[in-house]
Structure 1
Amino acid sequence: MNMLKDWVEYGVLGLLLVLSIWAVAIGIARFFYYRRVNVAAWKQRVELEADLTAGLTTIATVAANAPYVGLLGTVLGIMLTFQTLGATGDIDVKSIMTGLALALKATAAGLVVAIPCVALNNALRRKVKLLLARWDAHHG
């Protein structure tokens, strides 16, 4: 049972940490790329758009799925709490609150990852639209 508790605590939270680092790394790389891109160098708008949007799907996927990963941790944490209550027969407030706190920690972590990823994705997609508008203006 402790192994499953550790998996919920460290596995789910660790996965969310890795996903957030991955999304932020892509976001930073994209921001630096957008700062140095010269839209006039592309002859085809489709090629420019493909180059500009590379990696954005990953950020959007992390943003969309992080709450579900957190929810999985929540469900598993609550299941562990009920399993412990059923196995021991003790209605101990301390063990119940500890189990529920573990479960809610996973939900909070999922939201902490998702919300900035949504904002990052929106900011990057706005920059893509601006760069594409510049290309349109340049190629009239």
Structure 2
Amino acid sequence: MVYFRKIFFLSKVKIEEFKKKGELENTLTNNLTTISTIASNAPYIGLFGTVCGIMITFYKISESSNFDTSSVMLGLALALKATAFGILVAIFATIVYNGLARKVEVLMTKWEDLNEN
């Protein structure tokens, strides 16, 4: 996963090897946009799964000649799992993104301190 690769990379980067601030910043922030995009879009993907699950449940109800409450509830419960999963992914990705962004800030500050004239 991109999360763990980025965490490992930031722990091993040698800021002394970079001569230009922009080069260091580009290297440190590579893939952070991907993590941010996952964090912001995961709930929507989960919600889309929920809508699809509810639509399938309603379709099955319309095809059935008898109305069974337990099958409707089961279908709705399964549909809501998609939203729950999307929210969990978003929370995890947001926590990881914020931690990585802070690590980038710390490394940039250390680089600036090393290169003060």
Residue from 32, 37, 40 that aligns with 1:64: 40
Structure 1 spans left out of the alignment, 5+ residues: 1-24
Equivalent pairs counted in the alignment come to 116
Do structure 1's residue 38 and structure 2's residue 38 form an aligned pair? no
Residue from 74, 84, 88 that aligns with 1:98: 74
* CA RMSD after TM alignment: 1.1
Q: 1:64-118 CA distances to partner (integer Å, 9 max, x unpaired)?
A: 1111111011001111111111221432111111110111111111111111000
Structure 2 spans left out of the alignment, 5+ residues: none
Q: Distance in 2 between matches of 1:99 and 1:117?
A: 28
Seq. identity, %: 45
Q: Larger % of helix: which?
A: 1
Q: Distance in 1 between matches of 2:93 and 2:66?
A: 41
Q: TM-score, normalised by structure 2?
A: 0.93
- CA drift of 1:43 comes to 0.9
Moved runs in structure 1, 4+ residues, more than 4 A? none
Equivalent residue for 2:88? 112
Partner secondary structure for residue 91 of structure 1: coil
Q: 1:20-53 CA distances to partner (integer Å, 9 max, x unpaired)?
A: xxxxx21211122112212121111000000001
Q: TM-score, normalised by structure 1?
A: 0.79
